[in-house]
Amino acid sequence: MPTPSSPSKTDGKELRIHIFGHPSAFPEEIAHEFGGLINQDPAAECDLAIFTINPTHGIDPQTIAQWDELNDSMVPRLIVVTGLEDQIADFDDAVLLANRVFDQTVTPYLVLHDDSGLPCALISLEDLQITDYTSTPPTIVPSDPEHQQLVSEFRNEYLAQMELMGEDGFAAGLLFPAIPVWLDRQIGVDIVRNYINRIES
């Protein structure tokens, strides 16, 4: 079990992170990892809302309602996609679902799989670098032309969204990144922390 993180600080105050999601998407584990609180009233003040979704189980009506309640508040929102190790549904399924029942998301990273079909690395659509989580700590390596060709359409879409919304779109509550996370292998954990740090800065 990962060591719990203390909530981050912003302006000398504790960063208020609220976690929403059906139990099938492991919100308690995500809260434990990133120092957030679960089962909070969406109307309660927070600095960041993290929504956990498991594509195998879909998104329940309560979680959708909680997302909708935050639409007027402009609270930054991050979507964490869990359950990817089950190999029943994948990250793309989760993104399509989130686009349909939440809002249009952005996908800064896509999942790469090992020979057995399990997630093992993430490729950045910004710079096409690969973060390989089979080593500890993870290693960053250049992508090869085959990977670049496979993700080229997704990359063009991502870059267009970023150009439209700007680098500050996430912190302003206008841009909703979806991040694949597998806690046991620490996949995506560093990326979520980077987004949390953007709220602090």
Domains annotated on the chain, with CATH: 9-109+152-200 (3.40.50.300)
- Of 71, 31, 72, nearest in space to 50 by CA: 31
Among 1-10, 89-98, 187-196, the minimum mean pLDDT is found in 1-10
How big is the CA angle at 12 (ends 11 and 13), to the nearest 5 degrees? 90
Predicted pLDDT at 201: 64
Mean pLDDT throughout 22-39?
A: 95
Per-residue pLDDT tens over the stretch 17-28: 999 999 999 999
Q: Are 77 and 171 in contact (CB under 8 A)?
A: no
Per-residue pLDDT tens over the stretch 118-168: 999 999 999 999 999 999 999 999 999 999 999 999 999 999 999 998 888
For the chain, the 3-state helix, strand and coil shares in percent, each to the nearest 5, are 35, 25, 40
- Of 23, 4, 35, nearest in space to 197 by CA: 35
What is the helix (H) or strand (E) element at residue 60, kind and residue range? Answer: none
| The model scores a pTM over 0.85 | yes
122: burial class by Cβ within 10 Å (0-12, 13-18, 19+)?
Answer: buried
